[in-house]
């Protein structure tokens, strides 16, 4: 349906139900440090979260595409449950592909991805200019060749491009999804080693869901898939070798490693954390993780809530600025 303002999840209810106890999850508010019990349908969602409102028209294609991936998720989760009980298990291709697509969607629709979308876009524009590429300026911004030539000249003189528009966040979020989600799928499908880890301690799930951590010479993407199961995808730094395999390995954390990942997941939460049981020391866990994990933070979480219900009715444009204003633009969206 192309209905405006419908409640849309950025973490699937089918996944959240695995953390529920009698149909409710324990939900921790990062700001107030208070717990309350809520059903899956009321957490990790916002009105119009993935929709695009532009000139009074509603576009829910992203919601529909995510729904196609989610439809296959119960089979995928069942396969991961089976993998957790064996040293390794080769999954059917369609299930392994669904796992990788689901992680790609989670990564690109998360509140963090929405907040960072303008930063990623302007960084790509400026990087492209350094290498003589102008596809984004032509195809997304819609600039003429004369305007592009003027921008190229100014860029060689030290100027930088930023977005110059009003209420553009949801638009550029959707643009970035189209530009990058397929690339993320390829990365997860062919260049990531996936494993399911059994945890001796209960794991929460954060509003970011799929959490990226730099860990021992690799980038690790972790997703709690049950209170005591953690899906982890490892991408080693350096030259990558493509793999078409579909094997999933499993192992069990010792208590220290399990606590590290539980702490990191708690710390990744921007606004909300959920779990099966009340975790009594979330603030302490976040403080421990702060000393070990370096996450980029969203500057204005409220903008993520309002973006999907804000009608974009202007012109999407760019502006040349000096380095200081470029840095201000970046830090107005995310910060270390």
**Tokens 């995310």 map to which residue?**
334
> Considering the domain boundaries, does residue 213 fall inside one?
yes
- Residue 71 pLDDT: 97
CA–CA gap between residue 317 and residue 142 (Å, rounded) = 8
CA–CA gap between residue 21 and residue 19 (Å, rounded) = 7
- Residue 37 pLDDT: 98
Question: Which residues pair with residue 46 across a beta bridge?
Answer: 8
Question: Which residues pair with residue 47 across a beta bridge?
Answer: 7
Angle at 233 between CA 178 and CA 210, to 5 degrees: 55
With contact defined as beta carbons under 8 Å apart, do 7 and 47 qualify? yes
- Residue 3 pLDDT: 67
Rounded (to 5) percent helix, strand, coil in the chain: 45, 25, 30
- Residue 335 pLDDT: 87
Query: Across the chain, what does the average pLDDT equal?
Result: 95
User: How many domains, in total, are found in the chain?
Assistant: 1
CA–CA gap between residue 209 and residue 104 (Å, rounded) = 12
- How would you label 45-60 residue by residue, b for 16+ Cβ within 10 Å and e otherwise? bbebbbbbbbeeebeb
Question: Which residues pair with residue 235 across a beta bridge?
Answer: 219
Question: Which residues pair with residue 25 across a beta bridge?
Answer: 38
Structural domain boundaries enclosing 92: 7-335
> Considering the domain boundaries, does residue 232 fall inside one?
yes
> To 10 degrees, the CA torsion angle through 328, 332, 175, 56?
-120
Mean pLDDT, contiguous 10-residue spans, the chain (336 residues) = 79 97 97 97 95 92 96 98 97 98 97 95 96 94 94 95 95 96 97 98 97 89 98 90 95 97 96 96 96 90 90 92 96 90
- Residue 247 pLDDT: 97
77-to-18, 203, 246, 324 alpha-carbon distances in Å = 10, 16, 15, 47
Q: Structure pTM?
A: 0.95
Contacts (Cβ under 8 Å, ≥6 apart) of 243: 190, 191
User: What order do you get walking across the sheet with 211-214 strand by strand?
Assistant: 88-90, 247-252, 193-198, 229-236, 218-226, 211-214
- Residue 109 pLDDT: 96
> Considering the domain boundaries, does residue 123 fall inside one?
yes
- Residue 294 pLDDT: 87
With contact defined as beta carbons under 8 Å apart, do 288 and 263 qualify? yes
> Considering the domain boundaries, does residue 323 fall inside one?
yes
Question: Which residues pair with residue 211 across a beta bridge?
Answer: 222
- Residue 215 pLDDT: 80
> To 10 degrees, the CA torsion angle through 272, 273, 277, 279?
-110
> Considering the domain boundaries, does residue 1 fall inside one?
no
> Considering the domain boundaries, does residue 2 fall inside one?
no
């Amino acid at each position: 349906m192309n209905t405006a303002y419908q409640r849309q999840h950025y973490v699937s209810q089918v996944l959240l139900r695995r953390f529920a106890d009698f149909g409710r999850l324990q939900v921790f508010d990062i700001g107030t440090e208070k717990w309350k019990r809520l059903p899956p349908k009321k957490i990790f969602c916002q009105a119009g979260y993935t929709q695009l409102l532009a000139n009074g028209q509603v576009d829910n294609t992203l919601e529909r595409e995510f729904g196609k991936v989610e439809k296959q998720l119960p089979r995928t989760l069942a396969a991961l449950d089976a993998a957790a009980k064996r040293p390794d298990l080769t999954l059917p291709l369609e299930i392994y592909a669904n796992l990788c697509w689901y992680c790609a969607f989670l990564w690109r629709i998360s509140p963090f991805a929405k907040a960072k979308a303008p930063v990623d876009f302007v960084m790509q524009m400026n990087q492209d200019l350094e290498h003589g590429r102008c596809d984004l300026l032509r195809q997304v911004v819609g600039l003429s060749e004369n305007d592009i030539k003027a921008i190229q000249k100014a860029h060689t003189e030290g100027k930088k491009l930023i977005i110059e528009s009003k209420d553009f966040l949801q638009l550029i979020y959707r643009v970035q999804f189209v530009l990058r989600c397929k690339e993320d799928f390829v990365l997860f499908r062919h260049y990531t080693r996936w494993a399911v880890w059994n945890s001796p301690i209960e794991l929460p799930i954060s509003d970011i869901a799929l959490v990226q951590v730099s860990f021992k010479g690799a980038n690790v993407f972790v997703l709690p898939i049950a209170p005591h199961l953690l899906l982890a995808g490892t991408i080693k730094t350096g030259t990558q070798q493509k793999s078409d395999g579909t094997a999933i390995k499993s192992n069990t954390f010792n208590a220290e490693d399990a606590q590290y990942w539980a702490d990191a997941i708690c710390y990744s939460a921007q606004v909300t954390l959920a779990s099966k049981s009340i975790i009594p020391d979330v603030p302490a866990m976040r403080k421990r993780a702060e000393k070990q994990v370096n996450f980029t933070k969203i500057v204005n979480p409220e903008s993520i809530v309002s973006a999907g219900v804000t009608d974009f009715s202007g012109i999407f444009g760019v502006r040349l600025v000096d380095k200081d204003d470029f840095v201000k633009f970046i830090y107005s969206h995310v910060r270390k």
